[in-house]
Amino acid sequence: MTRFPDMVQESPRMPLFPKVKDGLLKKVLPALAARLIKTWCLTCRVRARINESAERNAVAEFGGAVYATWHQRMFYFFHDFGSRHVTMMISRSKDGDIANEVALRLGFLSVRGSSKRGGKDAMHELIDRLKSGGHTAGMMADGPTGPPRVLKMGTIRIARDTGKPVIPMMYGARRRIVLETWDRYFLPVPFTDIVIFHGDPIIVPADADNAECERIRQLVERTLNDMAYVCDTYFGGSPVGKPGFDL
C-alpha cells in the first residue's frame, strides 16, 4: 500500500486568552473585585472592637507598625485596613498583578516581591518606607502557601530592622462561609456581625539575635492563635482552622 506523507501540520499553540482580552481582563477584573469586596464588607456590622485604643496609641507613638494576621483572615481586613493605606507585599506573578490592582483600588499601597521572585528587594523597600515614618505594613504572616498558622520570620525581621512594633490583628464573624483550602479561608456571610481584635504591640529589640527573634516569633504566633479563638467563639461559634481542630 502506498503511504502518503502527512499533509496536516500542527498549528502553533494559542494562548488561552488573546492579548487584547488578557489586557481587558486585567483592567476590568480588579475593579469588579474591589467593588465586590467593598460592598460585601459594608453589609457586615462591627459589633465590637477589642483593645483598639492600645493599637492606635502604639501606631501614634512609634510612627507606624507591622500588622500581622493569618492568610485565612484576609477578606474583611481588605476593607478595614484599606482606608489606612497599609503597605502590602504582593508577588510579581501574573496573579499578583491582578491582586495588586485590587489592593490599590481598596486604598492599600504595595511593594512587589515574594520568596520566589524579588523578595529581598521588596523587603528592603518596605523597610525603607517604614523607617521614613508614617507608614504601616500589613503581613499575611503564614501566607501565601502556609503551613497554616505558623508565623514566618519575615514579620519579625521587618519589625526588628525598623523599630516598629508588631501588632497582631484578628477578626471573627457570627456567620461565615469556610472554604476547603489549605488554611480554611473563610468569608463573613453578608449582613452578619463582626468582632475585631486589636492586639497589644510586641517590640522586637534592634539587637535581637536569632534565638531572641525565634522566641518573639513563637510569642506572636501564639498570640494570633489565641486571638483567633476569642474571635471565633465571641458569638458562640466554634474555632475555624485551629491547629489540631479541623486542619
> 20-233: what fold?
Glycerol-3-phosphate (1)-acyltransferase (3.40.1130)
Residue type, 69: T
CB 234 within 8 A of CB 48: yes
Q: Which residues of 207-223 are buried (b: 16+ CB within 10 A; e: fewer)?
A: ebeeeebeebbeebbeb
Q: Helix (H, G, I), strand (E, B), or coil: what is residue 46?
A: strand
Residue type, 242: K
Per-residue confidence in pLDDT tens, the chain, 247 aa: 444 444 334 444 444 444 445 666 777 889 999 999 999 999 999 999 999 999 999 999 999 999 999 999 999 999 999 888 999 988 887 778 888 999 999 999 999 986 667 678 888 999 999 999 889 999 999 977 789 999 999 999 999 999 999 999 999 999 999 998 889 999 999 999 999 999 999 999 999 999 999 999 999 999 999 999 999 999 999 998 765 455 4
| Closest to 189 measured CA to CA, from 246, 235, 241 | 235
What is the strand order of the sheet 193-198 is part of?
45-50, 193-198, 166-173, 64-69, 135-140, 87-90, 109-112
| Closest to 47 measured CA to CA, from 236, 242, 241, 240 | 236
Residue with cell 483600588: 105
Contacts with 93 (C-beta within 8 Å, 6 or more apart), sequence order:
114, 117
Domain ranges of the chain: 20-233
> From CA 28, how far away is CA 209, in angstroms rounded?
47
Residue with cell 482606608: 83
